[in-house]
Structure 1
Amino acid sequence: MELKPLHLANVRLLGGDVGGLLAVDGRIAEIDPVEVPGSAETIDAKGQWLAPGIIDLGVFATDKPAFHFGGITRAALMPDAGPLDNPGLVERAAKGGKPDLWVHPIAAATKGLEGRELAEIGLMRGAGARAVATGRARIADAGVMRRILAYAAALGLTVIAHAEDEGLTAGAVATDGEMATRLGLASAPAIAEAMAIARDLMLVEETGAPIHFRQVTTARGLELIRAAKAKGLPVTCGITPAHLFLSDTAIGDFRTFARLSPPLRSEDDRHACLAGIADGTIDVLASGHDPRGPEDKRLPFAEAQPGMAGAETLLAMGLQLVRDRHIGPARLFDLLAANPAKLLGVDAGRLEPGTEADLILIDEGTPWQVDAKKMAAYAGNTPFDGMPVQGRATAIWKGGLRIR
């Protein structure tokens, strides 16, 4: 099937000026085109926002309906499902969503994600892995972590690290504080995050290898990231909307939908995270999409599995950051698309000629209510259940081909 040129007219580019875009042969050809081919399909966006398709960095399941609802055109799949510790599994995962969703597998750093023996990272890179990750937990052995950083860097891959010191967090389901005490929940101090970050930053300084901390959720952790960036170390970090909009008070009724990893933090830490988004310390906003069914969530809080279905609310919560004036629209799509694309080494995530035409139209003012029972995801375990939000993707193109 021949792919027609695509002309999107009367769009607000990244929520800014009104203009247009022309895509030819699946790539962006021109912004504000002077001439449009007669064979082009022209769509009048009537003032809707035009943005690059979201690149969701670090999901735990390939959940195409949820991704398409949320404007996600590419998803970087964490190695925990599988685990993705050999080339065959990586190659299969990479084919999982095509042609209307690209899955970028993240290789397991160690065999079985057990933190002991290095996996076949080079072979997995050849099979399509775009990064290396420690998985849901950090690697306790500093010697193993040092070898992983050095080996991945030699292959041109970034290591994606979990940041919690397991010596402090073992058995904990909440963060130390008034709420955990009141509920009688096993808890760990928030410094468990900063301690893990501090060790890995020292290894980065030693090896020169790039690292990405998938979630940094505390003031102390962000201070370390800030200082490392000021020294010129190759470090980036991410966060999910949950730690920007919710604090540990959200677990007050033993709500298992708010049982997350890392756990929700204090209100002071939440505000520190908002400051980190505003000042550029945080590089990536991701969904942490981890759909969990009733068998994992309809349990006593301490026995429930951590995780949230985040893909469908990622865009709406990001737009809330813009409405609250923490960031502007262009910065939002750096967090959602451009920065993840750079980390993964993919030619997408920006509205620039030559890049792949992965595009979304957004009606930023559409009101809707998050409803766990009506979500497109495999499971509706969202901590935002019942929350009124605004903004949704109304159309999606993957490589210039409309998929929704």
Structure 2
Amino acid sequence: MKTLIKHVVIDNQCQDILIIDGKIAKVARGIETPVDDLINAHGATAMPGLIDVHVHFREPGLTYKETIATGSAAAARGGFTTVLAMPNVKPVVDTAEKMKSQVALNAENGLVKVLQYGALSEDLVGVGPADLQAMASAGAAAFSNDGHGVQDAQTMLSAMQAAKAADRVISAHLEDDTLIQGGVMNAGPSADKLGLPGMTGLSESTQLARDLVMAQATGVRYHVAHISTKESVAQVRLAKQMGLNVTAEVSPHHLFLDDSMIITDDPMFKMNPPLRSKEDRQALIGGLLDGTIDMIATDHAPHSPEEKSGSMHDCSFGIVGLETAFPLAYTRFVKSGLVDLETLLTWMVKNPKEAFDLDQAGLLAVGDAADITLVDLVHPYEINPKDFASKGENTPFAGEEVYGKVLKTFVDGQVVYQAKKE
């Protein structure tokens, strides 16, 4: 199968991309050759397919919220071609048998490349590690207890040792349950004003300190999921200076929102970790700019309308992010002049690919998998949850004007998303 994409912009130059059997065969101006499929990009910008190392697709067991099909369709619509799905489905992916089943389910129903996390411990909350080596052999791309902090230090230490032996990354959800105290948003003036219980950032930073000491002792590849506090940024910065094998991700909502923006009891602003202070948010941006934080990851967390209604007291934690992440980051960071597109793609493609050894993901180079996203960087549009491919419409960014609309997404040279013509 030969496909030719004509008239794309790469590095501010008009180029053509020749794809043969799912691989990029040539990138040059004025390619002329017989092909099976000729696509005119009309000056759209071509990027390598985005990578998200933190998504929740809810299947099996919670398919009223999302399925692998709808989640991966949302990924494709957002320009993502490789994602890593968390194991907190029902049943939890915590054995080799469940891993094999989940990997097969992802392959059968995924429009994009859906890789799978295994749980660190039984049912995410058990004491003692799961059989990480067996899950790695069954296809686990990495390990995490996302949704739950590992409360038992020996469990985390043993899991680190096993992950090191299996040569897999541990992605840590940092949360000391004894410090949560029923919080539904960040502890501080905004929570006090709204009369809502606050969640201190110490729940994250104290568990991170514990883990970093053990990560140094074991040499495990340790990844901080959805980092949210200035104290955590400082700890990761120091750990990197000390030579630890540590990486970190930050979500778009922690970069672009903070608790001072929560002026009513609005369920769309409830996420875990919560939106922190403006000072924390500025530290996150600073950490991203100086390389302390390696990548942007969405923590895509779809819920039903019923679960994201009423008061923050009772609604579910989490928002969707796959279909808004790139346009928000492009608009706030690149369009504003803070960084260039190449830097943004380092955070959303290159660094996650390297940190998680994602050899199957392409970088828009000859010989790579033809994982390609075509975007319109010129014309603004409005974020409308009714347009989402995800089952979840739970986003605080509805109505925002952004740039960076995804027009077409290719996985291994096959079109998996095409925007409707307006």
1:86 alignment partner in structure 2: 95
Where do residues 105-116 of structure 1 align in structure 2 (5 Å cutoff)? 105-116=116-127
Preserved contact between residue 53 and residue 358 of structure 1 (Cα < 8 Å)? yes
Preserved contact between residue 228 and residue 254 of structure 2 (Cα < 8 Å)? yes
1:343 alignment partner in structure 2: 355
Q: State which drifts further: 96-105 or 312-321.
A: 96-105
1:330 alignment partner in structure 2: 342
**How far apart, in 2, do the equivalents of 1:156 and 1:325 lie?**
38
2:368 alignment partner in structure 1: 355
Where do residues 194-213 of structure 1 align in structure 2 (5 Å cutoff)? 194-213=205-224
Once the two structures are superposed, residues 197-256 of structure 1 have per-residue CA deviations (whole angstroms, 9 ceiling, x without a partner) of 111111111111110111111211111111111121110000111011111133321110
Is 1:132 matched with 2:110?
no
SS, match of residue 373 in structure 2? strand
Where do residues 38-49 of structure 1 align in structure 2 (5 Å cutoff)? 38-39=34-35, 41-49=37-45
1:178 alignment partner in structure 2: 189
Could you tell me how far 1:364 is from its partner in structure 2? 1.4
2:173 alignment partner in structure 1: 162
**How far apart, in 1, do the equivalents of 2:207 and 2:50 lie?**
29
Preserved contact between residue 327 and residue 403 of structure 2 (Cα < 8 Å)? yes
**How far apart, in 2, do the equivalents of 1:174 and 1:294 lie?**
20
2:83 alignment partner in structure 1: 75
Preserved contact between residue 150 and residue 207 of structure 1 (Cα < 8 Å)? yes
TM-score (normalizing by structure 2): 0.90
Q: Give the fraction of aligned pairs with identical amino acids, expressed as a percent.
A: 30
Could you tell me how far 1:191 is from its partner in structure 2? 3.0
Residue from 381, 388, 397 that aligns with 2:394 = 381
Give the partner amino acid of 1:84.
V
SS, match of residue 200 in structure 1? helix
- Change in CA separation of 1:401 and 1:372 when aligned onto 2, cut-off 3 Å: closer
**How far apart, in 2, do the equivalents of 1:25 and 1:168 lie?**
53
Is 1:255 matched with 2:266?
yes
Preserved contact between residue 128 and residue 154 of structure 2 (Cα < 8 Å)? no
Q: State which drifts further: 374-383 or 259-268.
A: 374-383
2:63 alignment partner in structure 1: none
**How far apart, in 1, do the equivalents of 2:201 and 2:314 lie?**
21
SS, match of residue 362 in structure 1? strand
1:8 alignment partner in structure 2: 5
Could you tell me how far 1:159 is from its partner in structure 2? 0.2
1:291 alignment partner in structure 2: 302
- Change in CA separation of 1:46 and 1:307 when aligned onto 2, cut-off 3 Å: same
Could you tell me how far 1:160 is from its partner in structure 2? 0.4
Could you tell me how far 1:264 is from its partner in structure 2? 0.3
Give the partner amino acid of 2:178.
G
Q: How many residues align?
A: 400
Could you tell me how far 1:172 is from its partner in structure 2? 1.1
**How far apart, in 2, do the equivalents of 1:402 and 1:175 lie?**
42
1:56 alignment partner in structure 2: 52
Task: Compute the RMSD of aligned alpha carbons.
Answer: 1.8
**How far apart, in 1, do the equivalents of 2:125 and 2:98 lie?**
17
Structure 1 unaligned regions, length at least 5: none
**How far apart, in 1, do the equivalents of 2:181 and 2:115 lie?**
31
Residue from 369, 376, 383 that aligns with 1:370 = 383
Q: State which drifts further: 317-326 or 261-270.
A: 317-326
1:277 alignment partner in structure 2: 288
Preserved contact between residue 16 and residue 329 of structure 1 (Cα < 8 Å)? no
Preserved contact between residue 251 and residue 298 of structure 2 (Cα < 8 Å)? yes
**How far apart, in 2, do the equivalents of 1:218 and 1:50 lie?**
34
**How far apart, in 2, do the equivalents of 1:280 and 1:129 lie?**
27
Give the partner amino acid of 2:196.
L
Preserved contact between residue 94 and residue 102 of structure 1 (Cα < 8 Å)? no
1:27 alignment partner in structure 2: 23
**How far apart, in 1, do the equivalents of 2:295 and 2:289 lie?**
12
SS, match of residue 9 in structure 1? strand
Q: State which drifts further: 181-190 or 104-113.
A: 181-190
SS, match of residue 366 in structure 1? coil
**How far apart, in 2, do the equivalents of 1:324 and 1:220 lie?**
27
**How far apart, in 1, do the equivalents of 2:375 and 2:30 lie?**
24
Give the partner amino acid of 1:66.
A
**How far apart, in 2, do the equivalents of 1:218 and 1:345 lie?**
27
**How far apart, in 1, do the equivalents of 2:165 and 2:388 lie?**
42
**How far apart, in 1, do the equivalents of 2:379 and 2:202 lie?**
39
Give the partner amino acid of 1:50.
A
**How far apart, in 1, do the equivalents of 2:42 and 2:388 lie?**
28
SS, match of residue 404 in structure 2? strand
Could you tell me how far 1:104 is from its partner in structure 2? 0.3
**How far apart, in 2, do the equivalents of 1:201 and 1:283 lie?**
16
Could you tell me how far 1:36 is from its partner in structure 2? 4.8
Structure 2 unaligned regions, length at least 5: 58-67, 418-422
Preserved contact between residue 125 and residue 148 of structure 2 (Cα < 8 Å)? no
Give the partner amino acid of 2:350.
A
TM-score (normalizing by structure 1): 0.94
Could you tell me how far 1:65 is from its partner in structure 2? 2.7
**How far apart, in 2, do the equivalents of 1:97 and 1:184 lie?**
46
Q: State which drifts further: 254-263 or 55-64.
A: 55-64
SS, match of residue 297 in structure 1? coil
**How far apart, in 2, do the equivalents of 1:248 and 1:146 lie?**
34
